[in-house]
Each structure stands twice: as structure tokens, then as C-alpha cells.
Structure 1
Amino acid sequence: MHFTHEPKRTYYVFAIMISIFLGLASRYINVLPNFIVNHTGDTLWAIMVYFLFRFIFASKSHNTAFYLSFIFCFSIEFSQLYQADWINTIRSTMLGSLILGKGFLAVDLKRYSIGIVIAFMMDKWIPSLFVKVKNKQL
């Protein structure tokens, strides 16, 4: 399906907001199972990063957001190996912690990879559903 850039951006804003909401819910709702609490937040963070890149680069290919998301997410994770006082002060805030994390975990790279792949597949699959529905209505 060929969206013009503005409707496409609206879709990405909606996807970003849903992933932020679900990601925060997965971190701060205490009744969720440990598996969800431990894995979902990072996966949803990567999904949000992917859709943020799609929003910024709406006229570029899906692959652009895919690769930039990997570079960004992995860079943030590896940056956590750097533990200087100034950046740890930023990481100690809620926003700093949500964006930069606190400490390197190799498993986060797997969570990010899963999230980016899920977002990439959703991004390619969901618009094609609209085409199928529209074609059936015609």
C-alpha cells in the first residue's frame, strides 16, 4: 500500500504511543507475570524505536528503519558499559533510565532484536491488510 507521508506518519505516531503505553505498563503494573515484566519492556522499547525511525524517515524504505533501529538500540546497550558519574546521574532519573538503561545486559540485545523484527513485520503486514479490505469493498 502506498500511503502519502502524512497518513503514514499518523500511523507511526499511533504505533509509538501504543508501544510506550504498553512498555510502561509492563514495567510498572505489579500484577503481571515475571516473564512479561522481565522481557516485554525492552522488546517494546525496540518496537517504539523502530516506529520512531519510520516516523522520521517516512519516505525511506522499511529497511532504513530496520537497520537504524539495530544500530541505535545496540549502541544504547553498549553505551551502558561506560559508567562515568555524569552519565550515571542522567541514568538515575526515570527518563534517563528509560532511554539509556542502567547496565549492560547481553540478553537485552536479543530482546531488542525480537522487538525490531516484530515491528518490521507489523509495519509490512498491517498496511497490506488495509489494501485487502479496501479491494474487497470495491
Structure 2
Amino acid sequence: MQGNGEKKWERNRILYLILIITTMILGISSRKFGSYLPVLLRDYAGDTLWALMVFWGIGFLFSKISTGKAAIAALLFSYTIEFSQLYQAEWINVLRHTTLGGLVLGFGFLWSDLVCYTVGVLAGGLIEKGLWRFLLRPKNEAGNA
């Protein structure tokens, strides 16, 4: 990528940790205060934000990979977790009924969750690309903005 004049970009881990924590707070709040939200947000925000948090987490752990690879990894992780909900053995259901286990593993498979995960990861990719353009624009453009 550097050969065509693009700068090499590495994610700022402090920023990504802040994004992860903020997204977690928003996701948990969407569940806790869902009765105050419009139905669409109440039903789908939590899963969408969960996938967005996974995207930020991939970016945090692998700070030098491309946005596309981070998005693919986040989708694969999210989809794997969702499909794992088809497996209902007693030992994993015990894990699911703990707070952390429920937040990470979920409880039951829903096709709509796959759509939410896709939307969340795409949002993360678009936000990241926007940040990338903003943070890496040439100095003379920054003064004219």
C-alpha cells in the first residue's frame, strides 16, 4: 500500500480501548434502558454494538492489519459465536447463564443477529476509514479545513 503514496497507518491502542469501553457502555445501556428506546433500537442496537465492539477489539489486538482484514475477522468471530448458539450442551449453557458468558456467547441463534453483526462491523469500518482520512490528511489540508 505504501508504494502508491499512501501512508502506513497503525491504530492507536488507547483510542481503541476508549472506543471499546464506550461501545460496551452503549450496548449494555441499550439493554438496560431498552424500554425508553424506539422498538428498532431496543431490538437491534445491542447486537449491532456488540459486533462494533468486536471490530474495535480486533483493531486493538492487531493494530497494523487493514480495515478490511479487521472487518473480516470481526465478522467471522461474530458469526461463529452466533452459530455456536445452535449447540446446546449442558456445560456451555451453564457458561451462558453467567453474566460474562451471556454477554459473550448469547443464548439462542437468530438470523437477525447476523444482519446486526454485519451492520455493526460495516459501521466500524466506515468510522475507521473516516478517522484514517482525518488523521492522515496532509498538514496543509488540516489548516485549510
TM-score normalised by length of structure 1: 0.90
Partner of 2:57: 52
C-alpha contact (below 8 Å) 2:9/2:64 kept by paired residues: no
Q: Which has the larger radius of gyration?
A: 2
1:106-121 equivalences in 2 (<5 Å) = 106-121=111-126
Partner of 1:136: 142
What residue ranges of structure 2 are gaps of 5+ in the alignment?
Answer: 1-6
Shift of 1:131: 4.0
What amino acid maps onto 2:30 in structure 1?
A: S
What SS does structure 1 have at the residue aligned with 2:109?
coil
Say which is worse superposed, 60-69 or 71-80, in terms of deviation: 60-69
Q: Deviations over 1:47-92 (max 9, x none)?
A: 0000100111101111221111111000000000000011001101
Q: Residue 76 of structure 1 is aligned with which of 75, 81, 85?
A: 81
What amino acid maps onto 1:62 in structure 2?
A: T
What residue ranges of structure 1 are gaps of 5+ in the alignment?
Answer: none
What amino acid maps onto 2:31 in structure 1?
A: R
Q: d(CA) in 2 for partners of 1:54 and 1:136?
A: 25
Q: Residue 18 of structure 1 is aligned with which of 15, 22, 47?
A: 22
Partner of 2:67: 62
The two structures, once aligned, show a CA RMSD in angstroms of 1.8
Q: d(CA) in 1 for partners of 2:130 and 2:119?
A: 16
Determine what percentage of the aligned residue pairs are the same residue. Answer: 37
Summarize the Cα distance change of 1:60–1:131 in structure 2 as closer, same or farther, 3 Å threshold. Answer: closer
Q: d(CA) in 1 for partners of 2:10 and 2:125?
A: 19
Q: d(CA) in 2 for partners of 1:129 and 1:41?
A: 28
Q: d(CA) in 1 for partners of 2:83 and 2:20?
A: 23
* Alignment of 1:32 onto 2:33: no
